[in-house]
Structure 1
Amino acid sequence: MRALDAVTAERAEGAVLSVRDLSVRFRLRGGRSVAAVSGAGFDLGAGECLALVGESGCGKSVLASALLGLLPGNAEASGTALLAGPAGEDGVDLLAADEKTLARTVRGRRVGLVPQSPAAHLTPVRTVRSQLEETVRALTGTARRARRKAAEEAAFPAGHLDRYPHELSGGLAQRAATALALIGGAPLLLADEPTTGLDRDLVDRTVDELRRHADDGRALLLITHDLAAAARIADRVAVMYAGRIVEIAPARRFFGPTGPRHPYARGLLDALPDRAFTPIPGMPPELSALPGGCAFAPRCPLATELCADRPAFTTGVACHHPEHPRA
């Protein structure tokens, strides 16, 4: 592993989650394999929200599945993802831990998942109350008081606890799923596209609730293609393209007048309706047919012959031609 600079080393020392060189490959028939995530690295501290953004298919959800140990059988993950332990206890490498460790001590207890599809995550034939109580018993050994506390933390109204998932609105279903994620008191929340299918008002309310939990001291990894949601609550932004993180920047700079430095990240912002409303030309490459060198070069207006070589990730950006801050 490369030596960390002073800022990164300081962040890593107090991080809830430290990811280094995380890569995921899928084995295919005929002996071929596809790299879905390549060399991802970041740190995430308590009370912080890191938004992982990028176009669909860039590898965001694969990265989340790797952290939770939920990759399919034909996947191979490498690197490290160190989840800090409680005071006085060792941390755990999420990529090296076996299924027994992940199931008994990590999922729900140390990592809470807020899923993309809460309706599918909830059991359709059981009420919200019964699902909360079952999860409470499994994680804490108690029931009523912890169930009530989880529902209150997720702002889930008590009057809807005896409803079934199909009787809930999209926003209430998301709150129910969030309540389940909060029961074990996990220090890390992983929200994988939690606003999919919600209207703008519900998006704002959902991410505001997630931000509140970060403000209470949890670390929050928000995986989203919704840049407006990221701008609303993120402290930092990590941009992913073709399986690789190409920029990590403070949200204030990323969404502010200065803007991001990677041409792809600038293209994402310029495609928004309240900005230039200009789409990035071309299409993302297939992960099974990545170009040599910089994967964004075929779509990049700044590409030169230097881009035939893969750029290193330095000073927060992986680009041979990082743009200077805007005036």
Structure 2
Amino acid sequence: MTPTLAVDGLSVRFRLRDATVHAVTDLSLTLHRGELLAVVGESGCGKSVLAHAVLGLLPANATVTGTATLHPDGAPPVQLIGAGERQLRTLRGRYIGLVPQSPATSLTPVRTGRALLTETLRVHGRLPANADQVAEEAGLDPHDLDRYPFELSGGMAQRLATALALAPDPGVLLADEPTAGLDRPLVDHTLDLLRRRCDAGTAVLLITHDLTAARRVADTVAVMYASRIAEHRPADDLFAAPSHPYTAALLDALPDRAFRPIPGHPPMLTALPPGCPFAPRCTQADDACTALPTTTHGTACHHPLTPAGAA
């Protein structure tokens, strides 16, 4: 089956005055219609950069290599990496939407939520009168649409950003920390909303550091560490028997498990080691880990923990 979004060999580098940030390295993944893929990992591992690279929203000092191919329903495939801004503007929102990580900086401050939402609906060929319905679906009181963004709480702004992303009904939705700033009931509401959209056929890529959220709704999970994917497997398999030592350590840090923090710190993205980047923090590490591991059965590790990864 042809994936709705296929990312292959994606690398992103940011050129600084005296260093280069290796934000994403040789990342490959596929996202199919009706699939919810959660990308998880510690802050700063490259999760958000992945979404912005796909949408062409990186700053001028970024160098992007690899491919990201979008297969819109009823339209020819489109290569997103290297596409011009004019072409990307025809794709953003209608075919591939984004729930931004920082809605307060992405909402126009001089327009009310209602003005933003009705314009989004109109531009994408939907009835502006549906604004209240879309807001309610996102968990936002329609009365709050008449406020300006600076009058909204962080959680309300997050729900407005979610409504704006859902309004055009895109085939692919990139949700970058969509539950940030929400209390637990609204977190569950947002996750269930994404799951329903996914079950209706939308391909959803959920970027989150919340493993509980990923476990609740994801079909597949990709675990990122230091700009690379460490493990990419079906969610049920990964949570039941993690294969990469980093995944196991992340799960052990959960309050309902061992509640044990991972010792040490991730490497600087300006000075990644030549071998396995997790080796300095890993209890399984040995001399073999001075070389970069290949990915086998979805796990990039010289010493996978489960038989599936070791097969």
Quick check: TM above 0.5? yes
RMSD of aligned residue pairs (Cα, Å) = 1.9
Match of 1:93 among 79, 88, 91: 79
- 8 Å CA contact 1:18, 1:83 repeated in 2: yes
Inter-partner Cα distance in structure 1 for 2:128 and 2:185: 31
Match of 2:167 among 172, 183, 189: 183
- 8 Å CA contact 1:238, 1:249 repeated in 2: yes
1:194-209 matches, within 5 Å, as 194-209=178-193
Inter-partner Cα distance in structure 1 for 2:64 and 2:114: 37
The Cα offsets for residues 57-115 of structure 1, whole Å up to 9 and x where unpaired, read as 1011111110110111111111111110222x211111121111111x21111111111
- 8 Å CA contact 1:249, 1:260 repeated in 2: no
Question: TM-score when scaled to structure 2?
Answer: 0.93
Q: Partner of 2:305 in structure 1? A: 323
Q: Partner of 1:18 in structure 2? A: 6
Inter-partner Cα distance in structure 2 for 1:180 and 1:242: 31
Inter-partner Cα distance in structure 2 for 1:209 and 1:174: 14
Match of 1:44 among 31, 34, 41: 31
The alpha-carbon distance between structure 1 residues 153 and 206, as it changes in their structure 2 partners (threshold 3 A), is: closer
1:163-242 matches, within 5 Å, as 163-242=147-226
Correspondence 1:159 to 2:143: yes
Correspondence 1:72 to 2:39: no
Inter-partner Cα distance in structure 1 for 2:170 and 2:147: 26
Correspondence 1:280 to 2:262: yes
Inter-partner Cα distance in structure 2 for 1:254 and 1:126: 44
- 8 Å CA contact 2:230, 2:301 repeated in 1: yes
Q: Partner of 1:297 in structure 2? A: 279
List gaps (5 residues or longer) in structure 2.
none
Inter-partner Cα distance in structure 1 for 2:116 and 2:20: 39
List gaps (5 residues or longer) in structure 1.
1-12
Question: Tell me, what secondary structure is at the counterpart of 2:31?
Answer: strand
The alpha-carbon distance between structure 1 residues 22 and 310, as it changes in their structure 2 partners (threshold 3 A), is: same
Inter-partner Cα distance in structure 2 for 1:91 and 1:152: 33
Q: Partner of 1:9 in structure 2? A: none
Inter-partner Cα distance in structure 1 for 2:201 and 2:218: 14
Question: TM-score when scaled to structure 1?
Answer: 0.89
Q: Shift of residue 203 of structure 1?
A: 1.7
Match of 1:29 among 12, 17, 27: 17
Matched residue type, 2:287: E
Point out the more displaced range, 234-243 or 180-189.
180-189
The Cα offsets for residues 188-212 of structure 1, whole Å up to 9 and x where unpaired, read as 1101111222222322222122212
Q: Shift of residue 38 of structure 1?
A: 0.6
Q: Partner of 1:268 in structure 2? A: 250
The number of equivalent residue pairs is 308
The alpha-carbon distance between structure 1 residues 197 and 171, as it changes in their structure 2 partners (threshold 3 A), is: closer
Inter-partner Cα distance in structure 1 for 2:238 and 2:15: 36
Inter-partner Cα distance in structure 2 for 1:170 and 1:146: 24
- 8 Å CA contact 1:51, 1:224 repeated in 2: yes
Question: Tell me, what secondary structure is at the counterpart of 1:38?
Answer: strand
Inter-partner Cα distance in structure 2 for 1:221 and 1:65: 12
The Cα offsets for residues 207-250 of structure 1, whole Å up to 9 and x where unpaired, read as 12221211121010000101111111111100000000010011
Inter-partner Cα distance in structure 2 for 1:28 and 1:115: 24
Matched residue type, 1:49: L
Matched residue type, 1:241: Y
Q: Shift of residue 289 of structure 1?
A: 1.1
